[in-house]
Chain A
């Protein structure tokens, strides 16, 4: 190897190395702080007995709850949950779009614009679900509608963030081509951005849908009538058979949804 080559060898830029080290040290310090004061782990004697009872309960689901002529049973509750989740997700998927484009770094010229968008999304996310639910209870009363609104508005924060990042991650070449041909922003979005981010949009929306199905807490609070309240009651009353059947119902429903949505996604992408 010739000497000149070695001498001309570029070095990793010093500035970047300093930055990397700073970040590394900061991270190490954070973890040190987090680990110090963590108590020891000790397994309780009662563990075996209690867990056995819970597991055996879960594995002996209360089949009687599946259907009840009164109409307050697993199947009805799941259907109601499903309906609420569909609408909640629909609302948030629509509402989050402007926020997502607002927050995406590559959609605006100035960084402060997208930063402002990100701030708004953070604020929405930080607003507790519980308070959101109370607000809507005050405006439309207890029931599924309040649940839909609470789910819908609350998930704007999450979906907006994830969508925004999907937009930031896309290949910008195609959008450039549209810009070059004099397309306006909307046309550029429609022809170059949307086709690229569509798969991500769909999968995030479906993921959010799944979360909504599982949002027992929020649905319980507003008395939405879905599976939320029964699940929480059963858990509080340590009625594991009932918990078992409800979880089974949710798992089956989520799996079926996953399957259906998977094939829809394949079709649309």
Chain B
């Protein structure tokens, strides 16, 4: 009880101190709100003509995202399992695995690009690889947390039937997390499509580049077109992913 209370107080102090340090001011936010509308107004109406123009980069982005996310997602599976305390019970394994995971997540996109361009040149390959590394970070982290939270009953049952570790994982862990894993996978796919800036850094084109270009021309109506286009794509992905999750599992 007291501990919870102290934790609570700690969090409050943290928030309060941060607010002071960063000069948060609610009133200036409210005062400044109308300024936001001038920018939003510039976005309307969207430039419908621009749609046809961005279809190709959008498809390219999707294509690279499919490959990159898949590679990252596949690589994430062993890491997610090795990082989970309830799967490998040895700190010798799960601590290093988690550390690797955290380390890879910390690499900024720009540094990834700086590393890949000298090795692989510019173009799709480094783009896909960069997406893969990025997706790996997200999927591994989220998947590992859901593995740690599974119901232990079926695990016990698999232990009791004498399953070896791999069978134990496949019959006890996997069915319980597949749905969540799929959803993290698709979530990461979605991120890769909408914030494909990394593709631009390695000269792989993609929709992120178009967003930057339209922005640097202050063509906010085209920005809105890109947003709407991305939204449509994301909704379609969402729809498909829900169907897959419902039907397959």
Contacts and interface: CB of A to CB of B under 8 A. Distances in A.
Contacts of B235: 119, 122
Interface residues of B, number: 71
A255 interface: yes
Interface residues of A, number: 81
Interface stretch (A1-9, A128-136, A174-182): A128-136
A241 B145 CA distance: 34
Given A82-B18, A145-B25, A34 B63 contact: yes
A50 interface: yes
B108 interface: yes
Overall SS of chain B's interface: helix
B111 interface: yes
A131 B195 CA distance: 12
A186 interface: no
A141 B32 contact: yes
A90 interface: yes
A257 B46 CA distance: 42
- Which 8 interchain pairs have the tightest Cβ spacing? A139-B32, A50-B118, A83-B18, A144-B22, A34-B66, A47-B119, A138-B35, A86-B18
B128 interface: yes
A145 B244 contact: no
19 contacts: A20-B248, A33-B63, A34-B66, A42-B120, A44-B119, A50-B119, A86-B18, A87-B15, A122-B231, A128-B195, A135-B40, A143-B23, A148-B24, A161-B187, A169-B180, A235-B108, A251-B103, A267-B7, A268-B4
Interface of A: 16, 19-20, 23, 30-31, 33-35, 37-39, 41-44, 46-47, 49-51, 54, 79-80, 82-84, 86-87, 90, 118-119, 122-123, 125-131, 134-136, 138-141, 143-145, 147-149, 161-162, 165, 169, 199-200, 203, 207, 210, 214, 216-217, 231-232, 235-236, 238, 243, 247, 250-251, 254-255, 258, 264, 267-268
Nearest to A84: B22
Contacts of B15: 86-87, 90
